[in-house]
Structure 1
C-alpha cells in the first residue's frame, strides 16, 4: 500500500511538472538573448514560518512577454511521517515554478513587500541558468533536504545564481563580514512571537553564534537582496558593471516590519529570574503550598527543557542545536528534586537531593566560567541571568527546611 501511494504521488508530480513545463514553453525554448533574469524578494509575513521572508528567480521571455518564477520553498504536509521527519531535522522541500503574476498576487494580497532586481547576466549565463532550473524541476531532481541556515529556499536561489555566474557571487561575498550571527538574525525576525523567540534562543547551541561572512548571512532573502547589490561583474571591455541593473519595489509592505537589530534578552530574562526567585523565597516563608507549586513548576520546566535539548543534540540532525551549553542550566536532573520540594515543607531533603542540588550549582558555576573563557562562542548570558537566581533561591529554600529540622531536635 505504501509503495502504491509513493508511485501515485510520483506520477502526480510528473504530471504537474509536465503541465508546468508545457505552460512555460516560451521561456524554456527562447534564445538566451531574449531571457531577462531577476531576483524577486518577498518581505516577511505575519505567520511565524513566514517571518524569514521568501524569494524566487524570475525568467522573462522578452519576445513573448512570458514570465515564470522559480522558488525552492514548497513542502508537503501530507508527506508520510512529515512531523516526525521535521522533528528529526529531515525536512524535504521542492522547487516549484509558476507564472509570475499568480505568485505575486498571493504576496500582494497578504500585504508583503515585493522587490524586483533585474540582473546583468550574459545570454550564455541566462540560458545556462534557465537550463539548470528546468533540470532541477524534473521530479527526480526536485526534492532536497532542507536546512534552516545552510540549505534553504534562499541559499538555493543564491547558489543557482552563483553557479550561472561562475562563482562570482561567492568569491566576493565570502570576503565581506556579515552583520549578525544566526542566533541574532533568528531572534530579530521572531521577536514578534516572543514565546517562540525564547524557545528558539534557548534551543540554539554554539553553532548559531559563529561569526558569519556575507555569503553565509545571505541565507535570508533580505540579506541576499542587499548583498547582491554590491556585486560587480566584468563588462567584457576591461571594466566592471554592477550585477543589479535596476531595483524596483513592485508592492509596498503593509505589515509590521521586523526590528533592525535583535532584542537584548538579558534584561527581561534577568528581571524575570529575580522576580521568580523573590516569589519563591516569600512563598517559602509565608505560603508553603504556593512555594511547593512554584518550585515544582520551575523544576518541571527545567527538566523538560533539558530533555528537549538533549534529544535535539543526540537524536536529530539539527546541528544548530548540538552541544547546547544551556543544558548546564536546565537538565533532567531537575526531575530528581521534585519530590524534595514537596517534602521540604515538613522534612529535610535527602542525601540524594543534596547531591543533585550540589551538582546543579556546580553546573551553573561551569556555565559562568565558560561564558568568560576565551574561545567559547555560545551566548548564554540571558539564560544564566534567569537561571542563577532561581536555582539559588531553590537551594536556600531547601536548606531552610534542613535548618528548621535541626533546630527542632532536642
Structure 2
C-alpha cells in the first residue's frame, strides 16, 4: 500500500509538471515603416500537452474605427491584446526581414500557470482593450508588467533603481533617426517631461531595452530569469540605430550664417530677404500653433510646456501682412519691427530657460540655430 501511495504521488507530481506551460518573451527588431521603428515584443505560451504555441501580442489596433483619427490626435488611442498562433504572428516579420528572438523564462510552476491564465483572461474581448500611451503604456510595458506580476513585483524591484542615463527623447530620436521627418517631429514636438533621466524600468518601454534588462534579472529562486535565449528569425534589414550625440557647433554655425546672411542681404536686396523669410515665418507659426494645440488641446503630455514654443511660435504669422506690404514696395507698418523684436526676445528667453535647472529641456541645438536667425532678420528688417 505504501508503494502504491508513493507511485500515485509521483504520477500526480509528474502530471502537474507536465501541465506547466513554457513561457517566453519574444522580441522583434525594428522595421522600415514608421510605426515599426521602435521594434515590438510579445509573450509566447507553449501548451505542455499539445505543444501549440500561442502569441499574446499587445500591439493590435483598428485604423478602421470611426473615431480612430480623432483619438490619435487627442492622444486617446485604443489598442488591444490578441491571442494568435505563434507561427502566424511570425509570418509578417519573416516577410519583412525583421529579426526575432525569444527569451525562455525560468519561472516556477505556479508563476508560469498564473501568467498563462492571466494572459488568456486578458485576451477575452471584454478585457482586451486598453488606452495606449506611447511611453507609459504600450506593447512593451504591457509585456513587462505581466512578467513583473508573475514575479510578485520582483522585476521592478531589481531594475527600478538602475539607469543608463537615457530619456524618452533620446530613445525616441535614436530609433526614429532613419526617417528624418519622424526624428524631426519627436525632437521638436517633445517637451521637457521627455528629458528626465529614466530608470531601466521606464526605459523598457522600448522592447530591445526590456530584453536587455531581463538578461540581468534573477527569478524568485535566485537563478537567472532567462533560462535560454534563441534566435528564431535573422535580421536582414538595417540594424537598430545607435545613439549619436548632438554636436552643437554645426547648428550654431548654420544659425550664424543665416543671421549674418540676413543682415547682409537686408542692406542690399530687402525684397529678396523678405521672400526668403516668408516660408520660415509661415512654417514657424504653423509649428508653434501645433505645439500650442498639443499642450492645451490633447493628452500628449510629453509635448506639454514645450520650450520650442519660444523659438517657433504663432507670433511669426503676424509678420506676414507686413512682409506682403514690403514685397509690394510699401512700408511694413509700425508693428512689424516690434513683432520681430518680440520674437528675438522670446528666443533669448529660450536660451536662459535651457540653463535653468528647473524643468530643463534638451533643445540647445534649436536655440543655437534659431536665435541668431531671428536676431539677423530683426537687425536687417527693423527699419522697414
Residue by residue over 1:336-368, the C-alpha shift from the partner in whole angstroms, topping out at 9 and shown as x without a partner, is 111223334644443322322222222112111
- Counterpart in the other structure of 2:299: 317
Alpha-carbon deviation of 1:106?
1.6
Alignment pair present for 1:211 and 2:176: no
- Counterpart in the other structure of 1:180: 166
- Counterpart in the other structure of 2:117: 131
Task: Identify if the C-alpha distance between structure 1 residues 98 and 265 changes in structure 2 by more than 3 Å, giving closer, same or farther.
Answer: farther
- Counterpart in the other structure of 1:328: 310
| Structure 1: unaligned runs, 5 residues or longer | 1-29, 402-410
- Counterpart in the other structure of 1:57: 43
Instruction: Give the Cα separation in 1 of the matches to 2:85 and 2:24.
Output: 14
Counterpart secondary structure, 2:164: coil
Alignment pair present for 1:396 and 2:382: no
- Counterpart in the other structure of 2:3: none
Alpha-carbon deviation of 1:397?
1.8
**Residue 88 of structure 1 contacts residue 315 of structure 1 at CA under 8 Å; is this kept in 2?**
yes
Counterpart secondary structure, 2:351: helix
| Structure 2: unaligned runs, 5 residues or longer | 1-15
Alignment pair present for 1:154 and 2:140: yes
**Residue 115 of structure 1 contacts residue 248 of structure 1 at CA under 8 Å; is this kept in 2?**
yes
**Residue 188 of structure 2 contacts residue 308 of structure 2 at CA under 8 Å; is this kept in 1?**
yes
**Residue 24 of structure 2 contacts residue 102 of structure 2 at CA under 8 Å; is this kept in 1?**
yes
Task: Identify if the C-alpha distance between structure 1 residues 399 and 349 changes in structure 2 by more than 3 Å, giving closer, same or farther.
Answer: same
Instruction: Give the Cα separation in 2 of the matches to 1:57 and 1:356.
Output: 56
Aligned equivalent of 2:262, options 248, 267, 280: 280
Alpha-carbon deviation of 1:195?
2.0
Task: Identify if the C-alpha distance between structure 1 residues 379 and 165 changes in structure 2 by more than 3 Å, giving closer, same or farther.
Answer: same
Alignment pair present for 1:337 and 2:337: no
Counterpart secondary structure, 2:57: strand
Give the 5 Å matches for 1:368-383: 368-383=351-366
- Counterpart in the other structure of 1:103: 89
Instruction: Give the Cα separation in 1 of the matches to 2:369 and 2:41.
Output: 38
- Counterpart in the other structure of 2:74: 88
**Residue 20 of structure 2 contacts residue 112 of structure 2 at CA under 8 Å; is this kept in 1?**
no
Alpha-carbon deviation of 1:273?
3.0
Counterpart secondary structure, 1:234: coil
What TM-score does the superposition give when structure 2 sets the normalisation length? 0.91
Instruction: Give the Cα separation in 2 of the matches to 1:384 and 1:98.
Output: 49
Aligned equivalent of 1:365, options 331, 344, 348: 348
**Residue 193 of structure 2 contacts residue 359 of structure 2 at CA under 8 Å; is this kept in 1?**
no
Alignment pair present for 1:199 and 2:181: no
Alignment pair present for 1:248 and 2:234: no
**Residue 187 of structure 1 contacts residue 262 of structure 1 at CA under 8 Å; is this kept in 2?**
no
**Residue 340 of structure 1 contacts residue 353 of structure 1 at CA under 8 Å; is this kept in 2?**
yes
Alpha-carbon deviation of 1:400?
4.7
Instruction: Give the Cα separation in 2 of the matches to 1:359 and 1:383.
Output: 18
Instruction: Give the Cα separation in 2 of the matches to 1:52 and 1:268.
Output: 28
Instruction: Give the Cα separation in 2 of the matches to 1:308 and 1:265.
Output: 27
- Counterpart in the other structure of 1:122: 108
Counterpart secondary structure, 2:121: helix
Task: Identify if the C-alpha distance between structure 1 residues 164 and 86 changes in structure 2 by more than 3 Å, giving closer, same or farther.
Answer: same
Task: Identify if the C-alpha distance between structure 1 residues 350 and 276 changes in structure 2 by more than 3 Å, giving closer, same or farther.
Answer: same
Instruction: Give the Cα separation in 1 of the matches to 2:316 and 2:369.
Output: 16
How many equivalent residue pairs?
A: 368
Instruction: Give the Cα separation in 2 of the matches to 1:185 and 1:32.
Output: 41
Note the aligned Cα RMSD (angstroms): 1.8
What TM-score does the superposition give when structure 1 sets the normalisation length? 0.85
